[in-house]
Structure 1
């Protein structure tokens, strides 16, 4: 095991010890009411990722906030008139909100909620890697620090990465990709682009097992398999639909199957049940001798977001995201490049509809 892998496992263990506590219904309702009052009083909007606790997702929807993937979270925060954004997710999401909205106060229930992809791509080591390959266009996944984004030419999310890399390849550009090697390999295969991959992975998706999935499929041939492309290729190759969280949710809504085996964080089940309440959702297998966590289908850092620390940050304002001006200005260029590209893509799609 490398030093970086050991560091990620240690921080994962610490995160699991700090997961938000389970609350009884009366306490949860009390917290929800008080949070709603604070959001209104502070002209604040709650922006939550699909992988957070269902209580937080439903509260974001009820208060006029947003539940989305990281791309839509970024868009929503930029377009909403609130002076304060409360980002329930992991740290890179809060940093992205600050990059796009320097004039707004960006709060998070906890600043300790990070991401294994972020941890596994330190800014100094990544900058040195880029310097070794100056002929390549640097494309980084959104799951990275502001400092890593500042070193990049493009920032992408799983919903737009394939289109952007395909565009760069059409221009004859060679790509340096970071940090998720599984997503990078999936895109390399689909686009045939010349891509040099950083060696990183998500601790949740890494645990999905190809053989376990094959065994489960054999017992449920009627089930459709949905996989996020951060999963290992042995899992992705068995999937009926591969894509971003938004794409997987849409698949549950539109596909005729009654049963779905889902290879991504189980936090997504809340939204899937909302759009398709009669569908049966099963976690893709993570068990096996190589499993490194107790409950592999849920991110321990996402689980650190809870109603109690959400209320606390609104009352105290002490978990605020800051990005220094120089880093923000550099990081804004590739982030805005992604937003402009996807906006133009959406216009073309609408025009062809």
Structure 2
């Protein structure tokens, strides 16, 4: 389970995570044009996550790239004909793209953009945990390293995790789940499956507070609450809709409410507002600003993606994702199961 060493490792990476600086309008325009030139020259396409900055998401859309959740990103990258994928997100997303498209070059604005779930689930310790439960089917969240995926029977994203575990439970299988304990608990309570859970958490979603949401609802009584299942159980319990980023986006468009309280990374507000310009989106309260708040509703590693770093990567070929062939072969098996699992 999560060791003191792993907790310290997350803190160390947090201390090093330097978000992109604010650009002037002129510099932003100039950098965007340079990125476009490089994409054309190198037959490259941007694959961006909802949690990256609005400027990155907008540029991906303008250049024929893609913005989505990690499952949609994986599918897009695997089928797109570009020879180079520029993955704007965190490192496990780049590794997933490389595993699914080993013949392509996969670049990232920075390889230092990681994830607390990935850092808190080291391959050796996870392998030992699996060995302690040999009768369990190993299901790991996409927010893990290639080495952890290679040890799994299934890889899932939050958009299909519940359905996959329900499918396995219906077959009478016991589940070993890693690494997010909150998502695992939500799935466990929803399916009744026999599950053992790794002790990991997302630093963004773990900070949302049920009391804060309820207090905010008193001010906005008609607001619907949208919650990502990486949040604690107390937060999930006050939600009107619980789901992945893509599922929350869909709910924002389909529900009649004009105001929404959203418990996930605020990077998603760009797409929510774009698709629903007449609606209002409010950040769910966290632990608060200052020393008690490690993320304040925004992943510090996602914030490391920037136009400047994207240019540097494309110009120099730096920050290229490399995954050993033996890991690609092993991790491809559970990832293929994920991609082939029915959407509906």
The bucket for the TM-score relative to the shorter chain is: over 0.9
SS state at 1:31 partner: helix
SS state at 2:226 partner: strand
- Shift in Å at residue 2 of structure 1? 2.7
- Shift in Å at residue 287 of structure 1? 3.0
- Shift in Å at residue 288 of structure 1? 4.8
Q: Which residue of 1 aligns with 2:217?
A: 217
- Shift in Å at residue 9 of structure 1? 1.9
Q: Which residue of 2 aligns with 1:151?
A: 151
SS state at 1:169 partner: helix
Q: Does 1:108 align with 2:108?
A: yes
- Shift in Å at residue 255 of structure 1? 1.0
Q: Does 1:2 align with 2:38?
A: no
Q: Which residue of 1 aligns with 2:296?
A: 296
For 1:180 and 1:168, the matched residues in 2 are separated by 19
Q: Which residue of 1 aligns with 2:245?
A: 245
For 2:14 and 2:103, the matched residues in 1 are separated by 33
For 1:114 and 1:22, the matched residues in 2 are separated by 21
* Structure 2: tracts of 5 or more residues without a match: none
SS state at 2:296 partner: coil
CA offsets, 1:148-169, max 9 Å, x none?
0000000000000001000000
- Shift in Å at residue 215 of structure 1? 1.4
For 2:143 and 2:35, the matched residues in 1 are separated by 28
- Shift in Å at residue 291 of structure 1? 6.5
SS state at 2:268 partner: helix
SS state at 1:202 partner: coil
Contact 1:116/1:202 (8 A) holds in 2? yes
Normalised TM-score (structure 1)? 0.95
Q: Which residue of 1 aligns with 2:328?
A: 328
Q: Which residue of 2 aligns with 1:312?
A: 312
Backbone CA RMSD of aligned residues: 1.3
Q: Does 1:124 align with 2:124?
A: yes
Q: Which residue of 2 aligns with 1:63?
A: 63
* Structure 1: tracts of 5 or more residues without a match: none
- Shift in Å at residue 294 of structure 1? 5.6
Which aligned pairs between 1:1-353 and structure 2 lie closer than 5 A? 2-15=4-17, 18-288=18-288, 292-293=292-293, 295-341=295-341, 345-346=342-343, 349=344
Moved over 6 A (4+): none
- Shift in Å at residue 211 of structure 1? 1.3
- Shift in Å at residue 266 of structure 1? 0.2
For 2:288 and 2:103, the matched residues in 1 are separated by 48
Length, aligned pairs only:
342
In the superposition, relative to structure 1, how do residues 31 and 10 fare at CA in structure 2: closer, same or farther (>3 Å)?
same
For 1:257 and 1:94, the matched residues in 2 are separated by 36
For 2:179 and 2:284, the matched residues in 1 are separated by 23
- Shift in Å at residue 289 of structure 1? 9.6
SS state at 2:231 partner: coil
CA offsets, 1:169-199, max 9 Å, x none?
0110000000000000000111111110000
- Shift in Å at residue 12 of structure 1? 1.2
Normalised TM-score (structure 2)? 0.97
SS state at 2:127 partner: helix
For 1:231 and 1:295, the matched residues in 2 are separated by 13
Contact 1:207/1:291 (8 A) holds in 2? no
SS state at 1:78 partner: helix
CA offsets, 1:262-295, max 9 Å, x none?
0000000000011001111110001359973365
For 2:258 and 2:116, the matched residues in 1 are separated by 33
For 2:51 and 2:107, the matched residues in 1 are separated by 18
